[in-house]
Structure 1
Amino acid sequence: MKGNMNNMMKQMQKMQKKMEQAQEELQEMTFEATSGGGMVKVTASGKREITDVQVSEDVVDPDDVDMLQDLILTATNDVLQQIEDKTNDTMGQFTKGMNLPGGMF
């Protein structure tokens, strides 16, 4: 019984190291999203930090600021969703079959 427990602990430690490595790799990734046919581009790191926002001059209309704000929000939410999806795909491989509540890795 003790041998099985030691073996299981070793496997858990290996899985933990792989999880940590996967998290580090995710944090180093860069994600981009656009809206308005590429008129607004938002770039974020895997750490969920917005690193760049580019707005085409063609979309800047002082009489329609609401549209510009909507385009920025759309691109920002899209890039954050991309990060979330990639994180779930990557980290989900470690939690398959564990029946953990959503969002728990």
Structure 2
Amino acid sequence: MKKLKGFGGRNYGKPEKPAGNIEKLQQQMKEQFEKVEQEFEKIEVSASAGGGAVKVTAKCNYEVVSIEYDESLLDDREMFNDLLIAAINETMRKVTEKRNEEISKIVGVGGLPNL
């Protein structure tokens, strides 16, 4: 098949070889992302509030695993509620931070892959 040249010297027809390399890189990155997603199910992150009165542990797939709290907090439900929310929010912030850290290892600096 003969390639047709348009105005400005652009080729119309079959794509050049670099597109094949891009597809290969995309496939490798996809496989690495799938592997990291599986690892996120194993990585746990914890945070606490109220000086350790409430501690929340979650996996990096955003699944809360455990909540530990000081029994004396049950006397003041409003404080318990506030500390629980604070601990959950901090845990989710740490999960997001850990996920971004792991994903940046794949994507690399400036969006260039570290393959």
Q: Work out the number of aligned pairs and report it.
A: 96
Unpaired runs of 5+ in structure 2? 1-14
Who wins on radius of gyration, i.e. which is larger? 2
Aligned mate of 1:79, from 61, 68, 91: 91
Aligned structure 1 segments of 4 or more residues deviating by more than 6 angstroms: none
Are 2:37 and 2:61, in contact at CA under 8 Å, matched by a contact in 1? Answer: no
Aligned equivalent of 2:35: 21
- TM-score if structure 1 supplies the norm length? 0.77
> 1: distance between equivalents of 2:30 and 2:89?
30
Q: Distance in 2 between matches of 1:77 and 1:8?
A: 39
**CA separation in 1, counterparts of 2:40 and 2:63?**
12
Q: TM-score, normalised by structure 2?
A: 0.72
RMSD across aligned C-alpha pairs, in angstroms?
1.9
Q: Which secondary structure does the structure 2 equivalent of 1:22 belong to?
A: helix
Please give the residue correspondences for 1:1-105 in structure 2 after superposition, counting only pairs within 5 Å: 2-61=16-75, 64-93=76-105, 94=107, 97=110
Consecutive unaligned residues in structure 1, runs of 5 or more = 99-105
Identity of aligned residues (%): 28
User: Larger relative contact order (C-alpha < 8 A, sep ≥ 6)?
Assistant: 1
